[in-house]
Amino acid sequence: MTGDARALVAPTAEEVAGEVPAGRPTGWWGMVMFITTEATLFAALIASYFYLRFQSTPEWPLGGIKTPELSLPLVMSVILLSSSAPMAWADRGIRAGHVGRLRLGLAATFVLGATFLGLQFYEYVTKLREFTPTTNAYGSLFFAITGFHGTHVLVGLLLILFVQVRAWLGHFDRTRHLHVQTTAMYWHFVDAVWVVIMLSLYIGPHL
Amino acid sequence: MATVVERTQRLAESWTEAPGLASWFKTVDHKKIGRRYIWTASLFFAMAGFEALAMRTQLARPEEGLIGPGAYNQLFTMHGTTMIFLFATPMLFGFGNYFVPLMLGARDMAFPRLNAFGYWVFLFAGLLMNASFLIGQAPNGGWFNYVPLTGPEYTPEVNIGFYTVGLLFLGISTTAGAINFIVTTFKLRAPGMSLNRIPLFVWAILATAFAVVFALPALNADNAMLLLDRKFGFHFFDPAMGGDPVLWQHLFWLFGHPDVYIIVLPALGIVSAIVPVFSRRPMVGYFWLVLANVATAVISFGVWVHHMFAVGLPQLSMSFFSAASLVITIPGGIQIFAWVATMLRGRLVLDTPMLFVVGFLISFVAGGLTGVMFAVVPFDQQVTDSYFVVAHFHYVLFVGAVFPILAAVYYWMPKITGRLLDERLGKLSFWLIFGGFNLLFFPMHISGLLGMPRRVYTYLPGLGWDGWNLASTIGAYLVAFGFLATFVNFLWSLRRGRPAGDDPWGGDSLEWATSSPPPPYNFAAIPVVHSAYPLWEERFRERLDGARGSEERQLAGDHEVLRTSELDATPERAIEMPEETIVPLVVALGFLLAFGGLLVSQYVVAAAGVPVVLAGLAAWAWPRREERPR
Amino acid sequence: MRSTAELRRRAAPILLWFAVLGGAAAWTVHLLLGWGLEEIACSPVSASPDVLGVSLTIWIGALTVALGAVTVAAGLLAYRFWRQTGTTDPNLHIEPGGSDPESEEQVRSGRTGFMALFGLAANGLFLLMIVYGGVSLLLLRPCART
């Protein structure tokens, strides 16, 4: 096998010159760039979280606030992350021309995403009894970061709704589906950000 | 079979926007939008220029008494903020908007409606921020707006609100513009224009656009957090509650240092466009210039702490940033060497555009040298917050941005208006500005080393600063007259300038392959290129004219552009561009409602903006009849 | 089961991108992790300049060596790919005077050589910065402040 491995690192000039990336539509690149800039924004917020965390007293969260309980956020994570599956299925479906799969997949994604937001609302109601954004910097960070993410989920739901309406109006087929693809990309991005938030804000303090 | 004449007619029809006032609000033509950016940025430049003149007049003599401290704080804050955010980048994006599609051989930007939207947001955000003067409450915390001075405790008034909300709003425009430039450069290049044949100005814009995509979020996060602290009682920057004022600085400079390259790189791109033409030869070291542009943009993200050397950070962490700050001078130097080598090995033509380039080369190197001095931590800590800093950044920013912009005015305006500017008046303007600039800013190195702090509204006599300040003020007025000369020259040229024709300078890039000004469709046939200097290729013009005979090359369908592949620019397919529409303006107005309402704490108004934006976006994304499956 | 040839064809352009951007990525990680670890170790609330029980010097030294190695690897690949395109001219097909009978292959090889040389030079710059950052370790005490 090492012979093969070495062969992989020794391609011919013609192979190296293969054009990658190539053939992507302008809208695809537009969404990639938009996701890049939004990802950087989340990165700045998470970096600020860690910056303030390690500047402070070893006690974290601050001010006697309890370390976040994990059961509800874990359920939320399962729901949100699993929603990427019907989204991908819908995306792949319309590429093969199956409008039915598109509509069903979008609907399932929507339900899961909306459930996530509903649970997050419930989580907020519970948490707000203990601390608010104005309690201290921890409170500010927690609500700002999860709230910003939640807003992105809401925008994602609106996008899915919009694409769903158009799917029912017959706007998509096996050759025209760019907006489904870009919506799916956005949705997967929102899911990925949640993983980072989960690890940083929820699981992190327990370590 | 349609004939060439019929196809050309269809081309003109599908690309010409309807005349009249409605069209003015609905245009999506990159050339019109580019001109608007240039006009609006010029207006903001004039405002910021007058702010500077006011400050210089106040500082001409010790204890002048013309302007009080409160007003002075607003002047220096708005001078910097306006110059950086509302003049430099928009002006360069304006030239980019006009010339990037032309240089690429394309008929428009990749996202024409996003382009229009970006302009409206820029206009509204700029007006919003400057409206603060009407109530005498312009931002007054300096252009980098440090907390805790600008926090809720020390500046509860609305001044800082104009800053945070205004920049959050403006950031949408800058980011939209950057994404547009990136996608246009990736996908709309003329066939044959592989990566190693892209014009250097376009490379500069591309590097800048990527820097914007990664840098603006840091500023937006910063401003959002400050807004939350100020308006809603959050505690990001409040040390008593676990926050940290230094966090503002880190995020700000994480944006701020790349921002100075966001300003300078496109200007250096203009220099790269002009030098080969006025040296009558291809650029020496095209490859090295591409490397330098991209490397500068990337490394610029690793030097931000050099703005914080006096904050008391650990030495080891400062050393990371000192290392990168020293290395970033290497690509900067490479650019200078490449230009100088080209000039030395060519036949120099010293018309006004090239004069500004030569003036730029001399003074920019001076500014770069003082920059290297700042990379050395002990020196930095001695001169921090003194006039030495003011001298340095004006040498790099004024020289680095304004000189190339003036060169571009003389070089590219003839393409835009069809008329050349007057050479003698141009030369007069150059000498007034070059001489005036050096008289204005050189003495600041000295007064800075003699201890004069920046941002002071007055100073005591007998400190050894008087003469230097007076000299600076005289220089400022000379510079002002120099700009007046160029402005008069421009107006004069509109009526009496010599007709430019397609190619007054013997240029090398594709914008010179079409008329001045270009027709709405830019090129009658899509050009094919075989080098980085298409117009200097053998028989290029003949081949382009001949291409009109081919239906494929003329691409006279409904408002079509040619999409090509990302790396090698092989043709992919024709794509249809949107027609003029009011939707981008509506969405921009929706955002204005949202941000304006937020600024004045009228949350119902702010909330009303949201459905406007959403409805506008839905209309934007709604497919045209032709885009739907049958 | 994809054949090695098929895998190689798909992997090759990605290797080229690694040759172009590997150093930049390595330097970014070096900067962020190095600075981040330093801030954590030297923060006012940290008991000692150790992170997770390992001294800061060792952390940053290890980072410098590892990421420097990645940059060198990217540089070597870039050099190999550049030699493979068979030209030493960095301008690569951009001299004016070109005319239509130019093959797609020529365009692609010119572009590839351009990318490879770019990677070579860029990786050199980034290696320089990684080494500078690491060298400062030898000269400065871990959490000294001025």
In chain B, where the domains are located = 4-581
Domain range annotation of chain A: 26-206
Quick check: A21 and B567 CB within 8 A? yes
* A105 neighbors A87 (Cβ within 8 angstroms): yes
pLDDT (tens place) for every residue of chain C, 146 residues total? 568 788 888 889 999 999 999 999 999 999 999 888 888 888 777 777 777 778 888 888 999 999 999 999 999 999 999 998 866 565 555 566 655 567 888 888 889 999 999 999 999 999 999 998 888 877 777 777 76
pLDDT value, residue A7: 66
> Could you say which DSSP state residue B533 is in?
-
Range(s) of the domain holding residue C67: 15-31+54-92+110-141
Can you tell me the distance from the alpha carbon of A87 to that of A109, in angstroms, rounded to the nearest whole number?
Answer: 6
Chain A nearest-CA residue for B237: A137
pLDDT value, residue A133: 96
Chain B residues within 8 A of A140 when measuring between CB atoms: 225, 228-229, 234-236, 243
What string of DSSP letters covers B185-204?
HHH-PPTT--GGGS-HHHHH
Quick check: C8 and A51 CB within 8 A? no
Quick one: average pLDDT of B544-549? 87
Q: SS3 sequence, A59-97?
A: CCCHHHCCCCCCHHHHHHHHHHHHCHHHHHHHHHHHHCC
CA dihedral (B20, B25, B29, B32) positive or negative: positive
Per-window interface: A 121-140 vs B, CB < 8 A = 133-140
Pairing type for strands B571-576 and C54-55 reads unpaired
pLDDT value, residue A181: 97
pLDDT value, residue B82: 98
Chain A residues within 8 A of B188 when measuring between CB atoms: 26
- Tell me, yes or no, whether C40 lies in a domain: no
In the CATH scheme, what architecture does the domain A26-206 have?
Answer: Up-down Bundle (1.20)
pLDDT value, residue C87: 64
ipTM of predicted assembly, 2 dp: 0.95
* A177 neighbors A76 (Cβ within 8 angstroms): no
Give the number of domains in chain C: 1
Give the Cα-Cα-Cα angle C46, C50, C56 (nearest 5 degrees): 120
- The minimal CB distance from B319 to the residues C98, C114, C133 is found for C133
Task: Encode B604-614: b = buried (16+ Cβ within 10 Å), e = exposed.
Answer: eebeebeebbe
Can you tell me the distance from the alpha carbon of C82 to that of B291, in angstroms, rounded to the nearest whole number?
Answer: 15
Coil, helix or strand for C145? strand
Chain B nearest-CA residue for C60: B316
Per-window interface: C 117-146 vs A, CB < 8 A = none
* A137 neighbors B236 (Cβ within 8 angstroms): yes
Per-residue pLDDT tens digits for B273-310: 999 999 999 999 999 999 999 999 999 999 998 899 88
CA distances, B517 to each of A56, B35, B521, C69, C100 (Å)? 61, 12, 11, 53, 28
- The minimal CB distance from A19 to the residues B188, B565, B628 is found for B565
Amino acid in position B39: W
Kindly indicate the confidence band of residue B622, based on its pLDDT and cuts at 50, 70 and 90.
Answer: very high
CA dihedral B322, B325, B330, B333 (to 10 degrees): -130
pLDDT value, residue A20: 86
Please check whether residue A14 touches B, CB under 8 A.
no
Neighbouring chains to C with at least 3 Cβ pairs closer than 8 Å: A, B
| Tokens 């999409």 found at | B563
Chain C nearest-CA residue for A22: C13
Chain A nearest-CA residue for B622: A166
Can you tell me the distance from the alpha carbon of B590 to that of B170, in angstroms, rounded to the nearest whole number?
Answer: 14
Please check whether residue C11 touches A, CB under 8 A.
yes
- Tell me, yes or no, whether C121 lies in a domain: yes
Helix (H) or strand (E) holding B382: helix B377-383
- Tell me, yes or no, whether C21 lies in a domain: yes
Q: Lowest mean pLDDT of A75-79, B102-106, B353-357, C61-65, name the range.
A: C61-65
Chain A residues within 8 A of C46 when measuring between CB atoms: 54
- The minimal CB distance from C108 to the residues A8, A9, A17 is found for A17
CA distances, C58 to each of B470, C51, C65 (Å)? 55, 10, 10
Instruction: Give backbone dihedrals phi and psi of B572, rounded to 5 degrees, phi first.
Output: -110, -70
In the A/C pair of chains, how many CB contacts fall below 8 A? 63
pLDDT value, residue B47: 98
- The minimal CB distance from C129 to the residues B192, B324, B377 is found for B324
Preceding omega of B519 cis (within 30 degrees of 0): no
Per-residue pLDDT tens digits for B16-45: 998 889 999 999 999 999 999 999 999 999
pLDDT value, residue B212: 98
> Could you say which DSSP state residue B401 is in?
I
Coil, helix or strand for A114? helix
B586, pLDDT greater than 90: yes
| Tokens 């001219």 found at | C89
> Could you say which DSSP state residue A201 is in?
I
Per-window interface: B 483-542 vs C, CB < 8 A = 508, 528, 530-534, 536-539
Quick one: average pLDDT of B85-96? 98
**How many residues in chain A?**
207
Proportion of chain B above pLDDT 70, given as a percent: 99
Taking residue B542's Cβ as centre, other Cβ atoms within 10 Å add up to 9
* B614 neighbors A157 (Cβ within 8 angstroms): no
Amino acid in position B487: F
Helix (H) or strand (E) holding B561: strand B560-564
pLDDT value, residue B309: 87
* A60 neighbors A205 (Cβ within 8 angstroms): yes
Kindly indicate the confidence band of residue B582, based on its pLDDT and cuts at 50, 70 and 90.
Answer: very high
Quick check: B196 and C132 CB within 8 A? no
Taking Cα atoms as reference points, which of B618, B627, B614 lies closest to residue B579?
B627
Amino acid in position B44: F
pLDDT value, residue C101: 63
Q: Which residues on adjacent β-strands are paired with residue B562?
A: B574
In the CATH scheme, what architecture does the domain B4-581 have?
Answer: Up-down Bundle (1.20)
Chain B residues within 8 A of C114 when measuring between CB atoms: 194-196, 287
Chain C residues within 8 A of B330 when measuring between CB atoms: 125
Chain C residues within 8 A of A50 when measuring between CB atoms: 36
> Could you say which DSSP state residue A203 is in?
I
Per-residue pLDDT tens digits for B315-344: 777 778 888 888 898 999 999 999 999 999
Please check whether residue C52 touches A, CB under 8 A.
no
pLDDT value, residue C140: 79
Burial class (CB in 10 A: 0-12, 13-18, 19+), C119: buried
Q: Lowest mean pLDDT of B404-413, B463-472, B531-540, C79-88, name the range.
A: C79-88
pLDDT value, residue C91: 58
> Which residues, other chains included, contact B575 with Cβ-Cβ below 8 Å and sequence gap of 6+?
A26, B560, B561, B562, B563
- The minimal CB distance from B530 to the residues C99, C139, C142 is found for C99
pLDDT value, residue C92: 54
Per-window interface: B 569-598 vs A, CB < 8 A = 570, 572, 575
Instruction: Give backbone dihedrals phi and psi of B562, rounded to 5 degrees, phi first.
Output: -100, 125
B80, pLDDT greater than 80: yes
What string of DSSP letters covers B84-115?
IIIIIHHHHHHHHHHHHHHHHT-SS-S-HHHH
pLDDT value, residue B470: 97
Residues of chain A with pLDDT under 70: 1-9
pLDDT value, residue C90: 55
- The minimal CB distance from B316 to the residues C28, C38, C121 is found for C38
Q: How far is C38 from chain B (nearest CA, A)?
A: 6
Please check whether residue B17 touches C, CB under 8 A.
no
Burial class (CB in 10 A: 0-12, 13-18, 19+), A64: exposed
CA distances, C18 to each of A111, B83, B569, C12, C76 (Å)? 40, 39, 22, 10, 11
Coil, helix or strand for A96? coil
Mutation site for B-interface testing, chosen from A14, A40, A54, A173 by largest number of B Cβ within 10 Å: A40
Mutation site for C-interface testing, chosen from A16, A20, A60, A207 by largest number of C Cβ within 10 Å: A16
- The minimal CB distance from A45 to the residues B114, B221, B235 is found for B221
Can you tell me the distance from the alpha carbon of B111 to that of B114, in angstroms, rounded to the nearest whole number?
Answer: 5
Q: Which residues on adjacent β-strands are paired with residue B576?
A: B560
Q: In this structure, what token pair is assigned to residue B500?
A: 């430019």
The number of C-alpha atoms within 13 Å of B292 and in the hemisphere containing its C-beta is: 24
Quick one: average pLDDT of B106-133? 98
Coil, helix or strand for B528? coil
Chain A nearest-CA residue for B245: A52
